[in-house]
Amino acid sequence: MKSAVIVFPASNCDRDAATALEEMTGRKTEMVWHRESTLPDVDLVVLPGGFSYGDYLRCGAMANQSAVMKAVKAHAARGGAVLGICNGFQVLTESGLLPGALMRNAGLKFVCKPVTLRVEESQSAFTRKYEKGQSVTFPVAHGEGNYYADDETLNRLEGEGRVMFRYQDNPNGSARDIAGILNEKRNVLGLMPHPERVVDPITGGTDGRALFQSLIEALS
């Protein structure tokens, strides 16, 4: 599986994502600066965590206007896989690649801690190496992870099996405990927790490995 990580000004999990990808795939990951208008030939594009453009206007709003996002949208439209983690999830909702929006945490505090998630679906390129219903622990680190969508959208997400991860103890007020969702074509995943931070026991766990193993199996 060939992968690229997009680097926006003030991305800060870009190298964590690249390290995780390189560890899991054994191949070099391409780092792509936000001003690029084309992507290298890759199977997976990762939008990393961080505070792109200082979270100006709204989290992810400015990043969505960057040149590289046109290429990311074209990649997604061709059926290419896109993984948005944390700020990357915010960019995906701002871009319309995923429905809904991520709002200020209900408790108004930045939440930085490991959280337990339930894997809701194993029928996807991102989760096929997990068991449906499995509990996993990923860290979260965000101030604006409170997922919002109207009831009709939430019902559709649930009805179509597009809620991939749910919080077992909701840290941010997200609607229906949603931590991660898929797009309709099932090739774009956005989630607030950080699977790339749990691929090596030295950083506190390995529950994120199966997400990357799923992608490798599906995309190689």
Query: Which residue ranges make up the site for other proteins (CB under 8 A)?
Result: 57-58, 61, 65, 93-94, 99-101, 103-108, 146, 148-149, 173
Least distance between other proteins and beta carbon 92 (Å): 12
Residue 75 is among the residues annotated as catalytic for this protein: no
Q: How many CB atoms are located within 10 Å of the residue 166 CB?
A: 17
Least distance between other proteins and beta carbon 174 (Å): 11
Residue 86 is among the residues annotated as catalytic for this protein: yes
Least distance between other proteins and beta carbon 44 (Å): 26
List b or e across 181-213, with b for residues whose CB sees 16 or more CB atoms inside 10 angstroms. Answer: bbbeebbbbbbbbbbbbbbeeeeebebbbbbbb
Question: Which is closer to other proteins, CB of 136 or CB of 179?
Answer: 179
Residues contacting residue 209 through CB under 8 Å, at least 6 positions apart: 24, 198, 199
Q: Are 148 and 98 in contact (CB under 8 A)?
A: no
Q: Are 123 and 86 in contact (CB under 8 A)?
A: no
Question: Which is closer to other proteins, CB of 4 or CB of 154?
Answer: 154
Task: Show the tokens assigned to 53.
Answer: 């453009």
Catalytically annotated residue among 34, 86, 94, 142: 86
Question: Which is closer to other proteins, CB of 58 or CB of 209?
Answer: 58
Q: Give the DSSP letter of residue 79.
A: T
Question: Which is closer to other proteins, CB of 2 or CB of 104?
Answer: 104
Least distance between other proteins and beta carbon 39 (Å): 23
Active site residues: 86, 194, 196
